[in-house]
Amino acid sequence: MKKLMIAVAAATLASAAAAAYPEKPVTIVVPFAAGGPTDKVARDLAETLRKHLNNQTVVIENVGGAGGTLGAAKVAKASPDGYTLLLHHIGMSTAPALYRNLPFKVLEDFEYVGMVNDVPMTLIGRTSLPASNMAELRTWLTANKGKINLANAGLGAASHLCGLLFQQQMGIDMTTVPYKGTAPAMTDLLGGQVDIMCDQTTNTTGQIESGKVKAFAVTTTKRLTTPALSKLPTLDESGLKGFNVSIWHGVYAPKNTPKAVVDQLNTALRAALKDPEFIKRQEALGAVVVTDGRVAPAEHKKFVEAEIAKWGPAIKAAGQYAD
């Protein structure tokens, strides 16, 4: 009887807390530098989510480093009260294969809130590169073996995965230059300090449009429809058969966040994904807002599980590990 009363009291407290949620600003941790593609998605989403969370402020905290694993680890250990969330990308599914001592368990340490969007990547280069299309780039890369600098956002980043597969399929090893995100990597690419990079369209579309970088190809098997990118060939049609990397973003809360809070966040997320302004802004950057079942927490988790199974063998075959 006493046990039952305690359980009832705890459940009442939890639902009272959920009913009041959010009563203070909610923080979304972005595991990469400010100004980059993950950050841009998070800031756009935060602005839209706020409208569906009692107009409560949604703050972005950038915790870049180690390919996104530092930020994810911080959220895994945060208080499970709905006030610290994570917005992360495909790195959630590649980290388990890349890190021997990953400080969190992707499938056990988080509540899955739902997925946000799918974003293709582009292969871009500094404007001073003496190559303007894929064939010329291949010639230049072959002639410059041992001297090529490929920027990325660290082991586990999307740019790392894409660059890894690119090197493998080209059969050319490049020197990777890791940054805390592709925003600082882009600054160096614009300055000509690094040669090439794979990055999400959410970060590259504007730079391609204004001619500040050279764009060589897209990483999906289908060409894109975004005007600035529609002329770009796919890597698949450029000789890298089967090359297909598309980045997705999802929202996570620390494990044991009350179900009522996760449900509330999921309802707010679904509303944000139907917001015409949000959809328009995302489309302009080449991102496709999720409209399928992956917006549901269980489907989101199932999808990440499938991605872990998909990328693990490719990464292990490439022999890339960190401790």
The residues of the shown chain that bind ligand ASP, judged by CB under 6 A, are 32-33, 36-39, 89, 152-153, 157-159, 181-183, 199-200
Q: Which is nearer to ligand ASP, 116 or 153 (CB)?
A: 153
Q: Which helix (H) or strand (E) holds 142?
A: helix 134-143
Q: How far is the CB of 204 from ligand ASP (least distance, A)?
A: 9
As a whole number of angstroms, the distance between CA 282 and CA 30 comes to: 17
Q: How far is the CB of 42 from ligand ASP (least distance, A)?
A: 9
Q: How far is the CB of 163 from ligand ASP (least distance, A)?
A: 9
Q: Name the token pair of 83.
A: 């006030």
Q: Which helix (H) or strand (E) holds 312?
A: helix 297-318
Q: Which is nearer to ligand ASP, 159 or 176 (CB)?
A: 159
> Which has the closest alpha carbon to 244: 161, 134, 139?
161
Q: Which is nearer to ligand ASP, 33 or 261 (CB)?
A: 33
CA torsion, ordered 258, 261, 262, 266, to nearest 10 deg: 170
Q: Which is nearer to ligand ASP, 195 or 199 (CB)?
A: 199
Classify residue 158 as left (phi > 0), alpha (psi -120 to 50) or beta.
alpha
Q: How far is the CB of 180 from ligand ASP (least distance, A)?
A: 8
As a whole number of angstroms, the distance between CA 96 and CA 160 comes to: 14
Q: How far is the CB of 145 from ligand ASP (least distance, A)?
A: 24
Question: In the chain, helix, strand, coil percent, each to 5?
Answer: 45, 20, 35
Q: How far is the CB of 89 from ligand ASP (least distance, A)?
A: 6
Beta strands in the chain (DSSP E): 26-30, 58-62, 84-88, 110-125, 149-152, 175-178, 196-200, 214-218, 246-254, 288-289
Q: Which is nearer to ligand ASP, 22 or 181 (CB)?
A: 181
Q: How far is the CB of 286 from ligand ASP (least distance, A)?
A: 13
Q: Which is nearer to ligand ASP, 53 or 162 (CB)?
A: 162
Stated length of the chain: 323
Q: Which is nearer to ligand ASP, 26 or 30 (CB)?
A: 30
